Chain A
Amino acid sequence: DSGVTQTPKHLITATGQRVTLRCSPRSGDLSVYWYQQSLDQGLQFLIQYYNGEERAKGNILERFSAQQFPDLHSELNLSSLELGDSALYFCASSPRTGGPTDTQYFGPGTRLTVL
């Protein structure tokens, strides 16, 4: 158990809908990262927050957005969902600013299925 929690574990929804995925980092960790894992794209970095501020952006679609709240939990919002958004979404956290040497601790993931 990494100490990172994600809810829900599974989510099934329809095309065009909007969903919110939630992540609670390890106690004391200030950085939160979001990743998408799909069969065709592999593991892709989406976005990173540090202490409430966006720190780095990866391959995140405009239909997706995220935020980190004062209590350091984070939410990833996915809207206008398409079939191709079906994937495992992982959250990770790290104790510092998320610089290149930081170890990331991954949660168990949320499996999103878009029908």
Chain B
Amino acid sequence: GDSVTQMEGPVTLSEEAFLTINCTYTATGYPSLFWYVQYPGEGLQLLLKATKADDKGSNKGFEATYRKETTSFHLEKGSVQVSDSAVYFCALSITSGTYKYIFGTGTRLKVLA
């Protein structure tokens, strides 16, 4: 069935380090892919999205490219800040008979000053 797999956390980085959070998916059709971020005590916020193969989503210095050949949507940022500390969720949505919305388990990022 359709699924999303993202790397286990927590990920701990020093400020200004490079960030990669891996996300791969399994889908029977052509999903849209999303990264959401959840700060403590809050709901999820959309970080970026890509709706077709080779699209690159970007926002606030974060980027992810929809790679159909490797079924991946890895999140990257060149220089993280303490304020980026949060939980990051990879998600897909797809029409497969009905609409499906599937989230990964989340990756906690902690950035140290």
**A and B, one complex?**
yes
* Interface residues, chain A, with chain B CB atoms under 8 Å away: 2, 4, 33, 35, 42-45, 48, 55-58, 90, 92, 98-109
Instruction: Say how far A6's CB is from chain B's closest CB, in angstroms.
Output: 8
Main secondary structure of the interface of B (DSSP, over half): strand
Instruction: Say how far B3's CB is from chain A's closest CB, in angstroms.
Output: 11
* Interface residues, chain B, with chain A CB atoms under 8 Å away: 31-32, 34, 36, 41-46, 49, 51, 89, 93-95, 98-106
CB-based contact A56/B103 at 8 Å? no
Question: In the bound complex, what is the Cα–Cα distance between A33 and B100 (angstroms)?
Answer: 11
CB-based contact B99/A90 at 8 Å? no
Instruction: Say how far B107's CB is from chain A's closest CB, in angstroms.
Output: 12
CB-based contact B32/A55 at 8 Å? no
Question: In the bound complex, what is the Cα–Cα distance between A35 and B91 (angstroms)?
Answer: 13
CB-based contact A56/B106 at 8 Å? no
Question: In the bound complex, what is the Cα–Cα distance between A35 and B102 (angstroms)?
Answer: 10
Interface-central residue, B32, B41, B44, B94, by most chain A CB under 10 Å: B44
Question: In the bound complex, what is the Cα–Cα distance between A46 and B105 (angstroms)?
Answer: 16
Given contacts A33-B101, A55-B99, contact A104 B51 (CB under 8 A): no
